A and B are shown apart, each in its own frame.
Chain A
């Protein structure tokens, strides 16, 4: 099985789709010669040319909107928004336009648009370059939302996102780009809406997204040494949510921790906790614990940033709480 970095995996999904299909093309700021500010699209301009790897002005509304219009004509554009903080600039187009054309037209229109973006703390960019805003998007009917944590998932899910007939917001995490992992020999699309049991366990389920999957695995290893068996489940697609897999896991372990890097309060984890109490209340032996960022913008100074953002120790502490070992 070949190994790819998360960055290479994203790039491979794009290149594979573009080689097979003229309708797939890219738009974004600095994605051509420079290869994207995160280096994800490196080499694609050389392979596919300027018509299909389109450097854009700094115009998030127009880039997303142009993607919507091309998608409505049956193309499959992939738009890159350099930082998800800048997604806020294009939210009108995403929320009022992309998400609603199909509905408002009574089913006449499809918008097969993929919007890739990235964020994430851990490198002291301050408050406007590392937010985790997925909770804003999962709240909007008509959008699909994906957050991949591993190279294999990034590749298989992005390919499916490109070929989904709905607008898909695809979140990547900056710190995951160099992370390597095994991927199938040839690209195997991973269906949207399917969670992955990353690690099996019996005492407690940690439902985690993005970098928290990795931090949960770290916590699980430490807990394992103390005789606690932790199951880690990654929803991968946040909308639609694979509630069955999450609920089945919690029914098995009877305890749940929900973990993401985004701010805890009103976060995606709150919805997961609500779903679990609705569907698995009688199986729960302890209150559901939530792990996420503290309620503050991201500070610049590393000590403050690290304090705000959830670390493996925070996941471990939450696991302990569910087991009454706080």
Chain B
């Protein structure tokens, strides 16, 4: 219990660390948007601006040895679990120094050493493998948890339902983290789900323990994620963590968001988790500037690192097809 108490009593210092991490993710993704628009980044990119508290809160509560799978919106989870910004940015530039060595890109970020078993570009596609990892932890009696991140859109896929059913049936060590950002690409929750205002009802159907949390409050996310992870780790069964967050930007970089009203975007800005945490901590302008400068340096350093990275040889495309 002592450990749990300690984990949940967050000091202002710890919260400042969270703020720094969230700001780093925000500025990193803004830089990614900027560099993509400048034509420097190949491919298809999705940012999760507005969802940083959900990412940092859950990832901070995870322990070494825990594994996770993410979505096409994975920069935040990857950074929050300790992948160096340089390695992430290098991946987005398609360099060998990237966290997937240039084979993956933004939608396929891996870092096995830090438990990242892959961001997935198929909505819902990664969930079953986290049930399998959780099953392996159970069979081997290991105190580890497999964390599946997904959005509200994924709750309508077959893999989601089969995965929840199987995980609950077999009591695997899996934590399902539903980052309900209220949008499935351009489709709002009310158009795609009969339970869009309470995703935890999905878990109810499988008799799975669920926990709901305000995903724009990192302190609460951390507390609820810790509770959920403890539960799963103890072998009590999987948990559905219903994180209510908000996607402040478009589905992809360059999305004109014709489907979204100005009022909606204004409302989004009011739910900014970083502004919220800054106000809570009463960060002075001076301290804020210091933080901004530090984060700016890290992000610029990552771009510099990535640009100076090594391009793969074309024929490297034929490597890594088989083990």
A, B assembled together: yes
Chain A: residues with CB nearer than 8 A to chain B?
25, 51, 54, 56-57, 59, 61-75, 77, 92-93, 96-97, 101-112, 141-142, 144, 165-166
Given A66-B129, A70-B136, answer yes or no on A106-B104 (Cβ-Cβ < 8 Å): yes
Contact A62 B128 (CB under 8 A): yes
Q: Are B112 and A62 in contact, CB atoms less than 8 angstroms apart?
A: no
CA distance A57 to B108 in the complex (A): 29
Known A-B contacts A59-B166, A109-B112; A102 and B320 likewise in contact (beta carbons under 8 Å): yes
Check B321 against A142 for contact (C-beta < 8 Å).
Answer: yes
Contact status of A57 and B165, CB under 8 A, knowing A66-B132, A70-B135? yes
Contacts of B104 in A (CB 8 A): 104-106
Q: Contact flags (1/0) for B107-141 with A, using CB distance below 8 Å?
A: 01011100001101010011111111111110100
17 pairs, CB–CB < 8 Å, chain A vs chain B: A57-B165, A59-B165, A59-B166, A65-B131, A69-B133, A72-B133, A73-B136, A73-B137, A92-B159, A96-B125, A103-B103, A104-B104, A106-B101, A107-B320, A108-B100, A110-B323, A166-B322
Q: Is the CB of B136 within 8 A of A106?
A: no
Q: Cβ of B132 and Cβ of A70 under 8 Å apart?
A: yes
Q: Give the docked Cα–Cα distance between A142 and B158 (Å).
A: 24
Q: Decide if A104 touches B110 in the complex (CB within 8 Å).
A: yes
Q: Is B262 an interface residue (CB 8 A)?
A: no
- For the complex, give the distance between the alpha carbons of A105 and B129 in Å: 15
- Given the interface contacts A61-B158, A103-B103, A104-B104, does A69 sit within 8 Å of B323 by beta carbon? no
Contact: A59 with B323, CB < 8 Å? no
Q: Is B323 within 8 A of A51, CB to CB?
A: no
Shortest beta-carbon distance, A24 to chain B, in Å? 11
CB-based contact A56/B166 at 8 Å: yes
A69 touches B322 (CB 8 A): no
With A59-B165, A59-B166, A62-B162 given, is the CB distance from A107 to B319 under 8 Å?
Answer: yes
Identify the closest chain A residue to B136 (Cβ): A73
Q: Nearest-CB distance from B316 to chain A (Å)?
A: 9
Q: Are B132 and A103 in contact (CB under 8 A)?
A: no
Q: Of B122, B125, B132, which one neighbours A71 at CB under 8 angstroms?
A: B132
Query: Measured between C-beta atoms, what is the minimum distance from B124 to chain A in Å?
Result: 9
Q: Give chain B residues whose Cβ lies under 8 Å from the Cβ of A102.
A: 320-323
Query: In the complex, what residues of B have CB within 8 A of residue A72's CB?
Result: 117, 129, 132-133
B207–chain A nearest beta-carbon distance, Å:
14
B139 touches A108 (CB 8 A): no
**CA–CA, A103 and B321, complex, Å:** 5
